[in-house]
Amino acid sequence: MTTDALPATPSAASRWILRGLTGGIITALPVVAIGLYFIGFAPNYYQHLAAAALVNLIIVVGLQVFMGNSGVPQLGHSAFVGLGAYGLAILATPVALKKLSIPHAPFGLSQITLSPVIAIPISFVVVAVLALVSGRIISRLSGVAATIVSLAFLVIVHSVFLHWPELFKGNQAFFGIPKIFGLPAIIAGAVAAIVIARLFRESATGLQLRATADNLQAAEALALDSRALRRRAWLLSALICGAAGMLYAGFAGTISPKVFYFQQVFLTLAMLILGGMGTVTGAMLGTILLSFGLEAIRSVETGVSVLGIQMPAMLGLSGVALGVVIVLCMALRPQGISGRYELDEAIGALLRRNSRMDKAE
């Protein structure tokens, strides 16, 4: 008895890989196009915005891996983003700078500087260990209970960041992180996240997990182990979010605990809800639309002049807009823009419908 899917036909195993790869690449195309446009044509300031938006995209994709496939809502993913970011920061920041920021770090961490090649895998291991522990609890719960526990997990991790200043520098900014990632690396990271998430969705585990989300009773009657499946998705989700944190830290060079808290949670949640949490396409669409939308609102926020008339500054408008997006989406189209179909699946369904009409069945 194995937990892996029995290949129904010799080609079944390769079929899902092909499906995931092509689907992932198609979904990543708009991201690559926009990213390259920013690298080539946008001023420096906008490149920073693009990098931040793409880091958000990776977080949203990570969120989708667990929430979209398991159907269990969660709010704790920013904890893993923070763990990834602080992991890289603590391990890779030069000793000279650590003497200024965290001179009394435990475990001799203020005395060492690791190459990113070593610091990144170690950070992933830290994220994985915490994901395995928290996943054991989350996987047993469903509905509101899972959501609340994930939120509690976020609060715990945030509190540790704040109240262990010897290691995390507390409320203050952790600076001096080597800026090892540029916009191209972040674009590559986003593409990788999209392809991995799509491969997971099409894999046996992803398929089985979606079955448990669709109809738990029927899935368990087919001997599917919903807890084990959720644990695996939780781990992958955490690793993707952790990667986003590392990319952010290695791009910005400075991090602080408040970056990885409620504001980020709700921003990324709104992106996923807008795009549609059932699909990786939804994660991509929601992030792009909301990133551009919020940037447009921010430019209005500080007061602009329209046709010679000075509009008043409306600070906080972007926050209101975020809330409105969540409310309107939940009320009018809870499945989000993309609904049940991935981009490539929607194209395929459209083609099939046309050919069916041709046959006039």
* Residues in contact with another protein, shown as a per-residue x/- string from 208 to 247 under the rule CB under 8 A: x-xx-xxx-xxxxxxxxx----------------------
Residue by residue, DSSP assigns 297-360 as HHHHHT--EETTEEPPP-TTHHHHHHHHHHHHHHHH-TTTTTTT--HHHHHHHHHHHHHHHHHT
**Position 333 contacts another protein (CB under 8 A):** no
Q: How many CB atoms lie within 10 A of CB 151?
A: 16
Q: Least Å distance between CB 222 and another protein?
A: 5
**Position 96 contacts another protein (CB under 8 A):** no
End-to-end CA distance of the chain: 43
Question: The tokens of 354 are what?
Answer: 């046309």
Q: Which of 269, 275, 250 is nearest to 30 (CA)?
A: 275
Q: Least Å distance between CB 7 and another protein?
A: 8
**Position 307 contacts another protein (CB under 8 A):** no
CA angle 212/217/218 to nearest 5° reads: 75
**Position 278 contacts another protein (CB under 8 A):** yes
Q: Is 228 helix (H, G, I), strand (E, B) or coil?
A: helix
**Position 207 contacts another protein (CB under 8 A):** yes
Among 12, 133, 327, 350, which residue sits at the site for another protein (rule: CB under 8 A)? 12
Count of residues near another protein by CB under 8 A: 30
From the list 53-61, 75-83, 191-199, 347-355, the region that binds another protein by CB under 8 A is 347-355
Torsion of CA 39, 41, 46, 48, to 10 degrees: 20
- Residue nearer to another protein on the CB measure, 10 or 312: 10
The binding site for another protein (CB under 8 A) comprises 1, 3-6, 8-9, 12, 204, 207-208, 210-211, 213-215, 217-225, 278, 340, 348-349, 352
